[in-house]
Amino acid sequence: MKKYVLKLSYCLGILLFCGCSSSSVFKSYPSQVNPYIKSVSSGQVIKYDKVFKNQFDSNDAVLYAMEKARLEQIQNLTTNSLEYYKLAIAIIKEIDNKAVISASDTGAQASAVALNDNAIPYKPPGYERVALRQMQSMNYLAKGDLEGASVEVRAANNEDKRAKVAHEKEIAKARSSVDEAKKDADVSSFNNVYAEMNKAVGGVKSSFLNAYTYYYSGIIYELAKSPNDAYIDYKRALEIAPNNVYIISDVIRLAKSLGMREDYKKYKKVYSGFEIDPPNPNMGVLVVLFEDGFVKQKDSIDIPIPYFGADTIVPITCPIYQPPWHQANTLMLKTAGGISLESKSICSVTDLAVKSLQEALPAILARVVIRGLAKATAAKQMSDAGGGWGSLVATIYNVITESADRRSWLSLPDNAQLIRTYIAPGSHELNFTIGYESRSHNVVVEPNKITIVRVIKTNGLMYINTLY
């Protein structure tokens, strides 16, 4: 008995050591972030100097930086948000600049086999990298720095390209690993578990193609007097969100003004009746960017994996997205001047998050099989050597260590929507309504210029600010 108590103590010591470098190994990531999301949703003042104070030297540092920046941004603390997005961008650059696998990476992979995937340093997936750049661009825009905002939208487009190349390489590598894994285990139960989740995002092309980012970058290009670039990104947004009437109108408008005759003819035929001309010269343009709710969080699920050689079944805990899904709100805009419009969907961030997990499943499966086999082999050896006490040690170890990787950027919106209209120059009181909740916001519109208002709906409040 004493012998196995010592072994158990040794195992726990390893766990504590690994836990020091990654704060999500033992405590689920959502449980760390949700109290702050709840505070923002209820309008509580958060002492941001203490938020995630001890986590910026952990494996999840980039994730904590993005969360803190976004929470501050929601509450209009632009300067602080700007700095933490900069920190997140710097950490990502450090991750990307690693030319070879370092000793720490090798150790993290080994810890993932012994413990769980939370031991692996967090690397933001493509959709989060793109969103990071867009969010930072909005901070620059809120400060009146159009050049800084333009730099970030170009960076967002580069992240899109990088994500596509990286994704193709990762998929090829993961498929090879899965083929090896199938030699050791029956993975049919794993595939069956994700069937419903995969069906939910069957129509999503990829996790890193974001119509909200493309449309936003189109606005920035228009502000920077680069209509050709704006037209390109509006068209990209339309390819992903082909039914958004506001995007349709902008694409047709620019096709006409830029002399894109073939495009104009094509779009007029496909989208007849959507062209909106200004009612008179010198009108202003009002764009409302509506970010609704918070992105869905991952659940965890136990999946039994039968192993051929070990003649046993090992339950492995994995991340999964499960219904119910968020019911999108609709933002209503009314003005004393007679404008009455409702927002139209442009992007489901939750769909991108689910698609991202779907794309990562081959790599997750490969690690699951390796970890399960290692634990099954260790359990058998302990049981053979120590009988009941050996089995007890192995069971306790597996219970303590087995945990799904539920990390993701949780303060992103569930979905994004759009309103765009012409509006007379001058001072306006904008009345926004979501369900039974209403708020007013004053703006001053200048002739022949774009005014951008951002509305963020948390679970309990509406935050409104004029971006530009």
Per residue, what are the HEC states of 373-401? HHHHHHHHHHHHHHHHHHHHHHHHHHHHH
pLDDT(103) > 60:
no
- The number of residues making up the chain comes to 468
Query: How many whole angstroms separate alpha carbon 19 and alpha carbon 246?
Result: 49
For 109-167, the pLDDT digits (tens) are 544 455 677 888 899 999 999 999 999 999 999 999 999 999 999 999 888 777 777 76
Name the DSSP letter for residue 412: S
Tokens for 345, please give them: 């969907």
Query: How many whole angstroms separate alpha carbon 345 and alpha carbon 415?
Result: 8
- Torsional sign, CA 434, 438, 440, 441: negative
Query: How many whole angstroms separate alpha carbon 184 and alpha carbon 115?
Result: 20
| pTM (two decimals) | 0.89
With H, G, I as helix, E, B as strand and everything else as coil, classify residue 365.
helix
Alpha helix (H) residue ranges in 143-202: 146-181, 188-193, 195-200
pLDDT(456) > 80:
yes
CATH number, position 144: 1.25.40.10
Name the DSSP letter for residue 60: T
| Amino acid 451: pLDDT | 98
Q: Which residue has the higher pLDDT, 403 or 412?
A: 412
Q: How far is CA 124 from CA 20, 60, 132, 356, 460, in A?
A: 21, 10, 10, 10, 28
pLDDT(218) > 70:
yes
Nearest C-alpha neighbor of 284 from the set 147, 149, 444: 444
| Amino acid 147: pLDDT | 97
Strand pairing report for 284-292 and 450-457: parallel
Query: How many whole angstroms separate alpha carbon 88 and alpha carbon 67?
Result: 10
Query: How many whole angstroms separate alpha carbon 347 and alpha carbon 24?
Result: 29
Rg (CA), the chain: 25
Say if CB 191 and CB 320 are below 8 A apart. no
Domain count, the chain: 1
Query: How many whole angstroms separate alpha carbon 176 and alpha carbon 329?
Result: 42
For 327-384, the pLDDT digits (tens) are 999 999 999 989 999 999 999 999 999 999 999 998 888 888 887 777 766 655 655 5
With H, G, I as helix, E, B as strand and everything else as coil, classify residue 279.
coil
For 295-321, the pLDDT digits (tens) are 999 999 998 888 776 667 778 889 999
Tokens for 455, please give them: 């509305």
Backbone φ, ψ for residue 346 (5° rounding): -125, -25
With H, G, I as helix, E, B as strand and everything else as coil, classify residue 426.
strand
Side chain identity, residue 110? A
In the structure, how many helices (H) and strands (E) does the chain have?
A: 14, 11
- In the chain, the percentage of residues whose pLDDT exceeds 70 is 82
| Amino acid 16: pLDDT | 47
Backbone φ, ψ for residue 439 (5° rounding): -145, 150
Tokens for 446, please give them: 């200048």
Residue 100 belongs to domain spanning: 2-466
Determine whether 99 is exposed, middle or buried from the number of CB atoms within 10 Å of its CB (0-12, 13-18, 19+). exposed
Query: How many whole angstroms separate alpha carbon 133 and alpha carbon 315?
Result: 39
For 17-70, the pLDDT digits (tens) are 444 444 666 688 999 999 999 999 998 889 998 899 888 888 899 999 999 999
Work out the number of other CB atoms within 10 angstroms of the CB of residue 231: 22
Name the residue with tokens 């104070």.
Answer: 53
